[in-house]
Amino acid sequence: MLNIILFGPPGAGKGTQSEKIIDKYKLTHIATGDLFRKHLGEGTDLGKLAQKYMDEGNLVPDEVVIGMVDEKIKETQDSSSGYIFDGFPRTVPQAKALDTLLEEKGEKIAGMIALDVPEEELKKRIKERGKTSGRTDDQDEAKIENRIKVYQEETLPVANYYDGEGKFVKIHGVGTIDEIFGKISSEIDKLK
């Protein structure tokens, strides 16, 4: 199985590129946002537990998030040729928990592919996306800057973790969608 993490700040192009990766490599997409919506919408035990934390204004604990990821893998592992993790892991403890979860299934992360995009370009892309998506948080300069700051402070250590494992690849994320995808594909092909 090929298991990769697509990584990068808000506006780096992860959504666009993950669709192309999924299509080419037939990977199962695991995005924590989708998992949250599914579990909350279906009122599962994990969804109810997550809702309890969110209602209290707290972050959902790693073990609940990992539980959702584990369930998704169990549901799809017989039909999947691998996974692309998008927006997860966000912290080093989540990365270590993911490694443990995969090891229990005889699997591992092949690599983390990080889209590297200058901050001014990120802001421009997010604002542009905001015009078409209708997302108000994509149109507010202060919110955009805060999201980038949170990424740099809280999520960047995950890149350092995988770099220490020899599994980190940085890709220049500026250019046409197809140019960037070509660079990503060449790195994925090395991981197979």
pLDDT in tens, 154-167: 788 999 999 999 99
pLDDT-based confidence at residue 146 (cuts at 50, 70, 90): confident
> What single string gives the DSSP state of each residue in the chain?
-EEEEEE--TTSSHHHHHHHHHHHH-PEEEEHHHHHHHHHHHT-HHHHHHHHHHHTT-PPPHHHHHHHHHHHHHHHTTT-SEEEEES---SHHHHHHHHHHHHHTT----EEEEEE--HHHHHHHHHHHHHHH--GGGT-HHHHHHHHHHIIIIIHHHHHHHHHTT-EEEEE--S-HHHHHHHHHHHHHHH-
Least confident span in 11-15, 26-30, 130-134: 130-134
For 95-144, the pLDDT digits (tens) are 999 999 999 999 999 999 999 999 999 999 998 888 887 777 788 888 88
The radius of gyration of the chain's CA atoms, rounded to the nearest angstrom, is 17
Can you give the pTM of this predicted structure?
0.87
Residues with a catalytic annotation lie at 14, 90, 129, 135, 147
Confidence of residue 184 (pLDDT cuts 50, 70, 90): very high
Taking the C-alpha atoms of residue 54 and residue 50, their distance in angstroms, rounded to an integer, is: 6
